[in-house]
Amino acid sequence: MTVAPLEVKGLTKQFAIGSALRRAHVHAVEDVSFELRPGTITALVGESGSGKSTVARLIARLHDPTGGAVLFEGSDVSRVRRRDDVLRYRSQVQMIFQDPFGSLNPVKTIRHHLERPLRIHHVVPRGEIRGRVNELLATVGLVPPEQVAAKYPYELSGGQRQRVAIARALAVEPKVVLADEPTSMLDVSIRIGILNLMLRLKEERQIAFLYVTHDLASARYLADDMLVMYAGQIVESGPVEDVLADPKHPYTRLLLEAVPDPGNRFRAGRVEQRKGGASAAVDPREGCRFVARCPIAVDVCSRVTPALVAIGGGRAARCHVTAPAERLEAVHAGR
């Protein structure tokens, strides 16, 4: 078993909303724990407002967590402030964003975008920078590299821009890459190319990927493990094939039923659900956050918050009905 370069423990983030007198807190991320292993892609799925992007941004140090820790090679980096320490962390953990149009500077060439991280992080001696830029472009399939490097972002298509963003992330030779919906703004026919590139990088460079998405089919295609988030909490986790073949949490099941897929075997008839959603994370009361939408809720669900319970086979679920805590050891207790 290889050591996880990155581990998240009890990660929690609250955002204050409302005025000073009527202050409420969105529990955007609550007690989230998982690890990212080398050569493994972990998918983090959920609907908008579930907190999945916030998790990625907390790991990338774009927000400060309210509680919990982000351990990089064993030491907590979630509160490092010194410039050197932050730089060292960022040279190991990189992020790719959803919008390939907004993440590149329109007045700078592609070469500029790729040279910058090489200089800032002193990855290679000055004389080798040009050659390294070309290597990076070739790695992400942008050829001929010399020509592409001379171009400006507007001269590239969305898919090519996302490849530049990936090349930029790779420039510092990171151990961990956080990809936040990297294909959702791209055309259908070029999404697979980006997913295949991530698969290749995982294998060739043993990068640990976090793939944040709302698309279950692409998560299945790409990922080894899967975490399902709902209203700030992880409600189910496990190997992706196992989770999708036999979802334990009613929310995972609802997501699966809703995916457009001709002949979806999870959809017996109409997909029924009750109302609810991300608002369940605003000053949550005791009880399961999914209870208002849950088709199988029982009395206890609105009174007692379920724990994420290990159910064997590397899987865990947060549900009183399908993964009762009695007799089974709570995941938290094990930590």
Partner 1 sequence: MTDVAERPATVPVTPAPARRETLLELRQLAVEYGRVRAVDGVDLDIGAGEIVGLAGESGCGKSTIANACMQILRPPARIAGGSVLFQGEDLTGKSNEELRKFRWRNVSMVFQSAMNALNPVMRVGDQFVDMMRAHQHVSRRRALAQAGYLLETVGIDKRRVRAYPHELSGGMRQRVIIAMALALQPELVILDEPTTALDVVVQREILQQIQEIQRELRFAVLFITHDLSLLLEIAHRIAIMYAGEIVESAPSAQLASHPLHPYTQGLLASFPPLRGPLERLTGIPGAPPDLADPPSGCRFHPRCPHCLPSQRDLYVRQTTERPRLREVEPGHLVACHLVEEGTA
Question: By CB under 8 A, is residue 261 in contact with partner 1?
Answer: yes
- CA-nearest of 27, 90, 15, 28 to 54 is 28
Q: Which range of residues in 107-115, 154-162, 281-289, 294-302 is near partner 1 by CB under 8 A?
A: 154-162
Q: Which is nearer to partner 1, 19 or 82 (CB)?
A: 19
Burial of 55 (0-12, 13-18, 19+ CB in 10 A): buried
Name which position in 258, 282, 300, 321 contacts partner 1 (CB under 8 A): 258
Print the binding letters for residues 271-310 with partner 1: x by CB under 8 A, - otherwise: x-x---x---------------------------------
Name which position in 105, 196, 285, 298 contacts partner 1 (CB under 8 A): 196
Q: Which range of residues in 64-72, 76-84, 262-270, 304-312 is near partner 1 by CB under 8 A?
A: 262-270
Q: Which range of residues in 32-40, 110-118, 143-151, 258-266 is near partner 1 by CB under 8 A?
A: 258-266
Of residues 214 through 253, those in contact with partner 1 by CB under 8 A are: 214-218, 220-221, 244
Name which position in 257, 307, 317, 322 contacts partner 1 (CB under 8 A): 257
Q: How many residues bind partner 1 (CB under 8 A)?
A: 39
| CB of residue 160 to partner 1, shortest distance in Å | 7
| CB of residue 123 to partner 1, shortest distance in Å | 30
- CA-nearest of 10, 45, 31, 32 to 228 is 45
CA separation for the pair 331, 309 (Å, rounded) = 5
Q: Which is nearer to partner 1, 115 or 180 (CB)?
A: 180
Question: By CB under 8 A, is residue 105 in contact with partner 1?
Answer: no
Paired residues of 177 in beta bridges: 94, 209
| CB of residue 204 to partner 1, shortest distance in Å | 15
CA separation for the pair 56, 299 (Å, rounded) = 34
CA separation for the pair 48, 131 (Å, rounded) = 41
CA separation for the pair 334, 34 (Å, rounded) = 13
Print the binding letters for residues 19-58 with partner 1: x by CB under 8 A, - otherwise: ----------------------------xx----------
Q: Could you tell me the two tokens for 257?
A: 């039923």
Q: Which is nearer to partner 1, 61 or 163 (CB)?
A: 163
Name which position in 37, 191, 248, 315 contacts partner 1 (CB under 8 A): 191
Q: How far is CA 211 from the centre of its chain?
A: 4
Q: Applying CB under 8 A, which residues contact partner 1?
A: 47-48, 157, 159-160, 187-193, 195-196, 199, 214-218, 220-221, 244, 254-265, 270-271, 273, 277
